[in-house]
């Protein structure tokens, strides 16, 4: 892919609780040095979708740089998948789950080099009750954690750690019926994940079978909270106790709550309580700038 000539920089100024002035100044300097046209947009949480769509149609960039967290990336990916444009990620959120799964560095200069580089991959997405999901979404325990964090007053890693402790004391089982491409079953669960990727932004590997570009996602059912199996997952083990963790690779799934609604989150954003989740793969729906070999993602 040629070096980009027109770049749209989308910045979430409040993501990650870090100032974005240095980042924006470095992109401006690169625009001058490399002679590409630069258009900047700062999100404000009001009319972002309409305004970014308008910029895509009027400015017609060949690269969209996203400086924000997973929520910002998800919103923009949902917009640009209708356009022929590659995205480049500048990790600037609290967790940066998708960037971590793509093997992208947190160091700004290196992240910029990759985001504006020639190496791209075609990655899958998921459609979850009509919403786009890019890496990890779930019902149950982790959705409760995200809900608690969003409602809490402390931001950053300390606030997250505080809510982890609180959430573990609140977690409970719920009954679900799950249908995939190849099977249907009922079970109790403390969490049901829809995993396109491998790990959360914290680095915890939850899906050892994950591949962002394989045309499938995994439904992972944690039937109960088990410290030993959790440790095995974190270590990347694929030898899990089927009485505790069940993993199904599929292109579509329906998860139905049988007794009460379940808490649901998509890419780190709490959605609410749902009766069911309908999920399907969106193969190769997005092109993204990636490192060459280190990312583990196929380069086009």
As averages over each run of 10 residues, the pLDDT of the chain (300 residues) reads 87 81 95 96 94 96 93 92 92 81 92 95 96 92 70 53 53 88 93 90 79 95 65 52 82 95 89 96 96 55
Q: Is residue 294 part of a domain?
A: no
Residue 28 contacts by C-beta under 8 Å, 6 or more apart in sequence?
38
Shared domain for 86 and 17, answered yes or no, is yes
Shared domain for 98 and 192, answered yes or no, is no
Q: Is residue 211 part of a domain?
A: yes
User: 169, 136, 164: which is closest to 70 by C-alpha?
Assistant: 136
Residue 135: domain span: 131-283
Q: Is residue 215 part of a domain?
A: yes
Neighbours of 6 (CB within 10 A): 15
pLDDT for 63? 97
Domain count, the chain: 2
Shared domain for 109 and 136, answered yes or no, is no
Alpha carbon of 85 to those of 81, 89, 101, 212, 257: distances in Å? 8, 13, 21, 18, 38
Q: Is residue 295 part of a domain?
A: no
pLDDT for 196? 95
> Domain with 11 in it: what CATH number?
3.40.50.10330
pLDDT for 234? 46
Shared domain for 228 and 162, answered yes or no, is yes
Q: Is residue 288 part of a domain?
A: no
What is the gyration radius of the CA atoms in the chain, in angstroms? 19
Specify whether the CB–CB gap between 220 and 209 falls below 8 A: no
Q: Is residue 296 part of a domain?
A: no
> Domain with 146 in it: what CATH number?
2.60.200.40
Shared domain for 79 and 157, answered yes or no, is no
Q: Is residue 274 part of a domain?
A: yes
pLDDT for 17? 65
Shared domain for 190 and 257, answered yes or no, is yes
Q: Is residue 299 part of a domain?
A: no
Shared domain for 157 and 75, answered yes or no, is no
pLDDT for 295? 43
Q: Which of 91, 118, 145 is the last residue of a domain?
A: 118
Shared domain for 60 and 158, answered yes or no, is no
Shared domain for 34 and 64, answered yes or no, is yes
Shared domain for 148 and 170, answered yes or no, is yes
Residue 89 contacts by C-beta under 8 Å, 6 or more apart in sequence?
65, 66, 73, 98, 99, 102, 104, 111, 115, 288, 289
229 three-state secondary structure: helix
Shared domain for 162 and 90, answered yes or no, is no
Q: Which of 89, 118, 147 is the last residue of a domain?
A: 118
186 three-state secondary structure: strand
């Amino acid at each position: 892919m040629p070096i980009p000539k027109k770049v749209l920089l989308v910045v979430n100024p409040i993501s990650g609780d870090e100032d974005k002035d240095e980042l924006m100044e470095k992109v401006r300097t690169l625009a001058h040095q490399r002679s590409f046209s630069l258009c900047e947009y700062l999100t404000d949480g009001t009319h972002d979708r309409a305004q970014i769509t308008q910029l895509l149609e009027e400015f017609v960039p060949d690269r969209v740089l996203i400086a924000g967290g997973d929520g910002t990336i998800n919103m923009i990916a949902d917009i640009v998948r209708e356009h022929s444009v590659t995205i480049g990620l500048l990790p600037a959120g609290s967790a940066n789950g998708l960037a971590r799964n793509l093997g992208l560095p947190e160091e700004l200069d290196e992240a910029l080099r990759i985001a504006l580089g020639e190496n791209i991959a075609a990655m899958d997405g998921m459609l979850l009750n009509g919403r786009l999901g890019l890496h990890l979404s779930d019902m149950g325990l982790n959705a409760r954690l995200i809900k608690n964090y969003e409602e809490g007053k402390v931001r950053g890693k300390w606030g997250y750690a505080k809510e982890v402790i609180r959430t573990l004391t609140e977690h409970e089982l719920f009954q679900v019926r799950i249908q995939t491409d190849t099977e249907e079953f009922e079970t109790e669960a403390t969490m049901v994940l829809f995993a396109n990727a491998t790990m959360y932004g914290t680095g915890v590997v939850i899906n050892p079978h994950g591949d962002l570009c394989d045309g499938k996602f995994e439904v992972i059912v944690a039937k109960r909270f088990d410290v030993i199996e959790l440790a095995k997952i974190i270590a990347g083990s694929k030898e899990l106790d089927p009485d505790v963790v069940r993993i199904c690779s599929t292109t579509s799934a329906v998860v139905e709550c049988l007794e009460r609604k379940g808490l649901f989150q998509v890419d780190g954003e709490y959605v609410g309580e749902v009766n069911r989740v309908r999920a399907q793969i969106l193969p190769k729906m997005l092109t993204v700038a990636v490192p060459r070999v280190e990312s583990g993602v196929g380069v086009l």
